Amino acid sequence: MTASARDLRHLPLFRSLSDAQLEELLRAFASRTVKAGTTLFNEGDPATVFQILIAGEVELSEGDEPRFSVKPFAPLGELGALSGLPRASTAVVLRDATLLEAKTDELMRLFSKSSELAFTFYRSLLAVVGDKVRRDKQRIQEMRSNIIRTQKAMKTIRDLVLEGDETALSQPICDRLDVLIENNRRAHYRVSPQPTHPASARLANGGGSNGTRVDVIELSEGFLKLSPTAKLATGAEATLVLTLPKGEIPVSGKVERAGTDGILLKLDLLIDEYKRALNGYMTELQMLDFVV
């Protein structure tokens, strides 16, 4: 089984291509039949092949997110295959499927020969990504609104419990609500350093500049998550120098949790100058996700 330009014309990724351009692009693809139960790729795998499902059914899963099935005609992992990003999901064939496949290297050679095809195709790809970003922003806004409503409701419930007659459940309920309310505070929203905006920490190892350097995994207002290579135990006091793109900041704090996923350090209060520098860095990271 194969697919024609007419079969793929309704897909947003190909809508801007002329018939001639779409036919030229399809010549780079080869057909492959895959049995049910086959894993096409796993989350985190390098994306080296652009695939289009033209028959059968494929299930996509991502971490703890709900699974959903994909049916013809549909591209699979077009963004990763054309940008070098790792696979964001796992794809398993539910019913015997037929795929059109093109290796990324072959597509790049095709685009190098036809700049007009490459420009039109990547403009369509950017439009598809833009639509996905807008939909994600809408969903995030809905979740943020739900969090705000939940936060207000929990505060109301806590106040009602405090105002009512005390029972054996009053204190445990208030304590749990306080924890949930604190965890939902915006100050605890985390950001991660990026290759263009790196961050690391130099642990004070007897003082001086010869301390052990470790990667910073995440930051939030008042917290720092370090690579487990820091080898700090829960409850330990730590002094370190935080290295940011625009300079260094001396910080200190106490290890709240140490595990294989990293070491969470609750920071001591910073002086205003260092606090502004850290908040400025976190704002720059947040801006990387902001679409104007």
Give residue 204's pLDDT. Answer: 75
Record: fold of 5-113? Jelly Rolls (2.60.120)
Give residue 147's pLDDT. Answer: 84
Locate the domains of the chain by residue range.
5-113, 134-187, 200-287
Give residue 32's pLDDT. Answer: 93
Distances, alpha carbon 278 to alpha carbons 104, 199, 205, 206, in Å = 40, 11, 23, 25
Specify the pTM: 0.61
- Tell me: the pLDDT tens digits for 237-266? 999 999 999 999 999 999 998 988 899 999
Give residue 193's pLDDT. Answer: 92
Mean pLDDT by 10 residues, the chain (292 residues): 75 88 90 93 89 92 81 86 85 93 91 91 89 83 86 91 88 88 70 90 61 88 89 91 92 91 92 91 81 52
- Tell me: the pLDDT tens digits for 202-243? 987 544 345 788 999 999 888 899 999 888 899 999 999 999
Judge: domain 200-287, CATH 2.40.10.220.
Answer: yes
- How many Å apart are CA 180 and CA 116, to the nearest integer? 54
